[in-house]
Structure 1
């Protein structure tokens, strides 16, 4: 089996879908690995590093020729995959709901497209979950970037000239990114509080030494979603939460928002009026900026000033940690393919009735086969 690793072409993308570590592991399984020239340059991996691991390095056309599987970070345009044989696997983050033309192109090319961001949140798929691995890094980087923009010290400092109070950090949304943000802010010495619509996260917040901020005694909370994701809240809960956040946010120095609802625009958590209540020099990092943002006035990929508050529209922060994010992403891909590897055939074999396969398979046999895509189109 020939595995091709392509160089990313999306603007600002720095990651690569394989590393020398995973190349060696694929070769140990019996695969041949070909890497497009300069594919790992932005992630501090040279062509010589890949060659030393046993991969061949060549131009894109040569790498794709005869490939049985193509590994990518972002799904490439179908037109850039000329020469790929029908039936080849395309494995990566394919953004199925927003890049419908590309998915159609994969189907027409006869590719079996597998969207790793749709990996089910089940125990045996944890090591394959690209969203979790990349969100972990994003949560860390959100605090680092927020601290840099804040321009004051984070920990309490007692000096001969007086005491500097610890920064107050408020994390809204306690998924993978939120938990890492809490842990990072605590390590930097900040006073940390956090909130979420899922009551189960209260203990997680406390376990990291942060203060949980939750709406109590309100009926109709609908925050417990499937697969660990949040769902929409009742109107009564939304009102109560807005009041609680308004009173709390005015006292904060750094706020990090992480709330996402799969397949829908990011929920609005912070209004312009709430921003105006914050003190001059405060910072808000919006990790949901690419999905429309949790913060009013947020712009993806930009820093915006409103009422003396800096709003950082964080856009795919894991890209800014290219070496580590590539290593984790590449391991996710290896863990997925190796879990289905058939030693006799020296290739992965995907049962049609497998929960993971059904969740991430988009196209097969020249058709779009994902029930989720069919549902979104109706």
Structure 2
């Protein structure tokens, strides 16, 4: 059983799909590991550390992937990379499958078994494999750090001989994994924190972290959560009421962090131009949904934009801004999943195709798109 770890080709992707720690664990499963040269450099892991853990180093993607039974990546492989992966190999990555018909077709045509880690079901046994949570947790933390860096004032209240410095007011929009970590981080830095979410269960979580919950709590709000724990799309009437409440609240805030995403859909627009214009000069908006179209109307992907003195932070791949930590957690998510695909006694791949984890994440197999949610429409 040969496992290959390929480099990431996207310029904004510094993460790597394995670490020396997980290389050792794969070795104990009976696998040989080959790592493409330089794969871990931007995440602070030189080739020598992979070698010391027991991996061999391949000079390029072709050398690393051509004989591999399992290929590990952070992002979906490109068509060029698929050409060097043998048919039948398992390819495991964050595949970003929604709306990517051509990419899914390419995966199928390459005859690889492609697994999308972000489709992992949110059940107890899969918690350790939940890449969305591990990476969103870091994104929420980093969003507050980035906001603090752009905000030209102190975060905590300070009582000094020269006078009192008021605490920054931070508003978190969306109290999922990223939002809750943002709340906790902003609180640790001494800010006065408020938060909103359309899911009723979020209120208790927000308040348990010491933040105040802001929402229109009507009957629709009480029903606004899917069985999987995600936010439902709300009615136009509810959105209007919530927007009015939020607009009056945002005008008083120093920092706004938006984290709202609905799987498979563009990011909902939560912060309008008028809301930004109501904020004081020197305020900051951090948009964690910028890669899906953004929660803020004025966000620009990959830029820190400025409008009327308000900075709108639209960094791409925010977990990648903590590349070493993000890689460490992602690599552990991957290992936990791969471990379920290996027979411990024979030390060989033994994928149980009817396992709920496999069925939930497998996109393509034997030349076909097999996932029910991504069947071609033509």
Question: Over residues 350-378 of structure 1, what are the superposed CA-to-partner deviations in whole Å (9 max), with x where a residue is unaligned?
Answer: 3232221111101101111110101x737
- TM score, norm. by length of structure 1: 0.97
TM-fit CA distance, 1:58 = 1.3
Residue 7 of structure 2: aligned partner: 7
Residue 185 of structure 1: aligned partner: 186
Aligned-CA RMSD value: 1.4
Say which SS state the counterpart of residue 86 (structure 2) adopts. coil
TM-fit CA distance, 1:220 = 6.4
- How many pairs does the alignment contain? 377
Residue 35 of structure 2: aligned partner: 35
TM-fit CA distance, 1:313 = 1.2
Residue 230 of structure 1: aligned partner: 231
Partners of 2:71 and 2:157 lie apart in 1 by: 50
Residue 84 of structure 1: aligned partner: 85
User: Is 1:118–1:360's contact at 8 Å kept on the other side of the alignment?
Assistant: yes
User: Is 1:284–1:310's contact at 8 Å kept on the other side of the alignment?
Assistant: yes
> Which shows bigger deviation, 350-359 or 291-300?
350-359
User: Is 2:200–2:222's contact at 8 Å kept on the other side of the alignment?
Assistant: no
Question: Over residues 111-158 of structure 1, what are the superposed CA-to-partner deviations in whole Å (9 max), with x where a residue is unaligned?
Answer: 000011111111111110111111000000000000110110000001
Q: Does 1:341 align with 2:325?
A: no
Partners of 2:334 and 2:29 lie apart in 1 by: 14
Residue 125 of structure 1: aligned partner: 126
Say which SS state the counterpart of residue 255 (structure 1) adopts. strand
Partners of 2:275 and 2:89 lie apart in 1 by: 51
Residue 329 of structure 2: aligned partner: 328
Q: Does 1:57 align with 2:33?
A: no
Partners of 1:93 and 1:156 lie apart in 2 by: 41
TM-fit CA distance, 1:333 = 0.2
Structure 2 residues not aligned, in runs of 5+: none
Partners of 2:241 and 2:350 lie apart in 1 by: 50
Q: Does 1:97 align with 2:86?
A: no
Say which SS state the counterpart of residue 140 (structure 1) adopts. helix
Partners of 1:108 and 1:346 lie apart in 2 by: 29
Question: Over residues 334-365 of structure 1, what are the superposed CA-to-partner deviations in whole Å (9 max), with x where a residue is unaligned?
Answer: 00111232123423433232221111101101
**Structure 1 residues 83 and 303, CA gap change in structure 2 (3 angstroms):** closer
Q: Does 1:274 align with 2:284?
A: no
TM-fit CA distance, 1:225 = 1.9
Partners of 1:156 and 1:377 lie apart in 2 by: 56
**Structure 1 residues 158 and 4, CA gap change in structure 2 (3 angstroms):** same
Q: Does 1:216 align with 2:253?
A: no
Question: Over residues 233-256 of structure 1, what are the superposed CA-to-partner deviations in whole Å (9 max), with x where a residue is unaligned?
Answer: 122221210111011111100000
